[in-house]
Amino acid sequence: MTERPLLSVRNLEKHYPITEGVLSRRVGAARAVDGISFDIARGETLGLVGESGCGKSTAASSLIRLEEPTGGRVLFDDGRGEGLRDVTRFDEADLKAFRRNAQMIFQDPSSSLDPRMTVGSSVAESLMVHGMTDRTRRRKIVENLLEDVGLSADDYDRYPHEFSGGQKQRIGLARALVLNPDLIIADEPVSALDVSVRAEILSLVDRLQEEYGLSMLFISHDMSVVRDVCDRVAVMYLGKIVEIGETEEVFANPQHPYTEALLSAIPTPDPRQRRKGIELTGKVPSPVDPPDGCRFHTRCHRVIQPDEYDLEQSHWRSLLNFRDEVVAGAVDVGKVRESVEAGAADGDAEATPDAAVEREIRADFGLPERLSDAAAERRLGDAFDRLLSGNEDEAAETLAAAFVTPCEESVPEFVDHGDGHRSACFLTARDERALERPANAER
């Protein structure tokens, strides 16, 4: 992106305090947004995508200061010739002007419509708040706008309950556009709508964005929606952006395993284009206690093995899942033993019950009866011996010492893949290093 951005978000943070007791003593924080940075150029749509709970809505409400950010800067060019100014330092007057210039569209359009007000009055309300006293003029502007979003001027005097979900979202768009903003933040604008009307609303958003020269932050958990409307996409995981780049490039050439997993979940009717669905196993972490190192390592299907092992990748993932569960005290050997014994009572007798219990646990975690790597198998066997003889703490210690991924030992930096495509994963960092040769080091 060469031109100066309209919006530049720098290390934005929003941490919610976790409190305890009658005195509300602060005992921790949910790091909902934990240092994200991105730019949006004039006329550009940036998608912010990720699973539910990764911090997308919090990012939106913090950058528009519906909630006060905990840290970072939000730089916005309000067109007054002063260039980028820091929204987080705006006083009331500046904030009012900013909110006129940066509007939000929500998932549920009904929530922002007063059922007792005609839709025309609802849309016209902010014109009045921002000083347009001429009623006839207000009505004219709103009628034109209603037509522009695919409704009719006559709808001005109707009430919200008379409209379908899709039509209400059209009203939401009219409300957002009435003050001629430069930036729209659309938070899951089509997720609550019937599939049949989603495409209509998305193409309307696309047209309006072009027509009004809008910049847009488009929040969605749905990669296929993002592909339809966004010029660039930022993939968010547990409060952090893990990959960002032009939509086409990220879709064609995803660099982060999390992006790859999200893309693999997109249904496609064309069997030639169908990607193999990637099943993410492992613990889903909480923003209150995010994992060390790369935050995705507890679920990553490509989690890196240390040099000392040479295991099938899915077995390495299973080993780490097993380690984490044993360390968390979540493997109930007694229960497995009971179920194995019940099976044996049904005639499926086993000579060595411990071996049967171990087999059952291995199967539960997707671990084979023997790992192909002898050293790893020895250590796993050792941990099983301790676990099955009731020494759970020792088993946990053995596993924690034997199986460590480099992904949990340090935080991956962003790697630049060109044209603003960046991702933060040790795998790509390693590949880039492997490609670097002294001969072209000066490039």
The minimum distance between CB 24 and ligand ATP, in angstroms, equals 13
Query: Using the rule CB under 6 A, is 69 a contact of ligand ATP?
Result: no
Q: Are 326 and 387 in contact (CB under 8 A)?
A: yes
From 51-59, 193-201, 245-253, 310-318, span contacting ligand ATP (CB under 6 A) = 51-59
Task: Report the DSSP beta bridge partners of residue 184.
Answer: 103, 216
Residues 6 or more apart whose Cβ sits within 8 Å of residue 74: 7, 8, 9, 10, 12, 62, 63, 65, 86, 87, 88
10, 42, 43, 53: which one contacts ligand ATP (CB under 6 A)?
53
Question: CB-wise, 17 or 381, nearer to ligand ATP?
Answer: 17
Question: CB-wise, 138 or 221, nearer to ligand ATP?
Answer: 221
Question: CB-wise, 16 or 414, nearer to ligand ATP?
Answer: 16
> From CA 305, how far away is CA 317, in angstroms rounded?
9
- What is the number of other CB atoms lying within 10 angstroms of the CB of residue 296? 26
> From CA 62, how far away is CA 87, in angstroms rounded?
10
Q: How far is CA 333 from the centre of its chain?
A: 35
Give the N- to C-terminal CA distance of the chain in Å, as an integer. Answer: 20
Question: CB-wise, 76 or 237, nearer to ligand ATP?
Answer: 237
In our burial notation (b when 16+ CB lie closer than 10 A, e otherwise), range 344-382 reads eeeeeeeeeebebbbebbbeebebeeebebeebeebbee
- 3-state SS class at 102: strand
Question: CB-wise, 218 or 403, nearer to ligand ATP?
Answer: 218
12, 54, 190, 336: which one contacts ligand ATP (CB under 6 A)?
54
The minimum distance between CB 379 and ligand ATP, in angstroms, equals 35
Question: CB-wise, 124 or 229, nearer to ligand ATP?
Answer: 229
The minimum distance between CB 355 and ligand ATP, in angstroms, equals 42
- What is the number of other CB atoms lying within 10 angstroms of the CB of residue 144? 11
The minimum distance between CB 374 and ligand ATP, in angstroms, equals 42
Residues in the chain: 443
Query: Using the rule CB under 6 A, is 56 a contact of ligand ATP?
Result: yes
> From CA 109, how far away is CA 193, in angstroms rounded?
10
Q: Are 70 and 256 in contact (CB under 8 A)?
A: no
Question: CB-wise, 50 or 172, nearer to ligand ATP?
Answer: 50
Q: Are 259 and 247 in contact (CB under 8 A)?
A: no
15, 34, 41, 55: which one contacts ligand ATP (CB under 6 A)?
55
User: Of 211-250, which residues contact ligand ATP (CB under 6 A)?
Assistant: 221
Amino acid type, 325: E
From 52-60, 68-76, 149-157, 374-382, span contacting ligand ATP (CB under 6 A) = 52-60
The minimum distance between CB 19 and ligand ATP, in angstroms, equals 10
The minimum distance between CB 144 and ligand ATP, in angstroms, equals 33
The minimum distance between CB 201 and ligand ATP, in angstroms, equals 18
Query: Using the rule CB under 6 A, is 52 a contact of ligand ATP?
Result: yes
Q: What number of CA atoms fall less than 13 Å from residue 295's CA on the CB side?
A: 21
Token pair listed for 77 = 């060019």
From 55-63, 307-315, 342-350, 357-365, span contacting ligand ATP (CB under 6 A) = 55-63
The minimum distance between CB 55 and ligand ATP, in angstroms, equals 4
Parallel, antiparallel, or unpaired: how do β-strands 45-49 and 215-220 relate?
parallel
- What is the number of other CB atoms lying within 10 angstroms of the CB of residue 251? 17
From residue 285 to residue 324, the character string flagging contacts with ligand ATP as x (rule: CB under 6 A) and all else as - is --x-------------------------------------
The minimum distance between CB 26 and ligand ATP, in angstroms, equals 12
User: Of 18-47, which residues contact ligand ATP (CB under 6 A)?
Assistant: 30, 32
User: Of 268-287, which residues contact ligand ATP (CB under 6 A)?
Assistant: 287
The minimum distance between CB 234 and ligand ATP, in angstroms, equals 12
Total residues in contact with ligand ATP, by rule CB under 6 A: 13
The minimum distance between CB 59 and ligand ATP, in angstroms, equals 7
> From CA 326, how far away is CA 34, in angstroms rounded?
29
**Which helix H or strand E contains 347, and what residues bound it?**
none
- What is the number of other CB atoms lying within 10 angstroms of the CB of residue 383? 25
Token pair listed for 382 = 């050792």
Residues in the site for ligand ATP, rule: CB under 6 A? 16, 30, 32, 50, 52-58, 221, 287
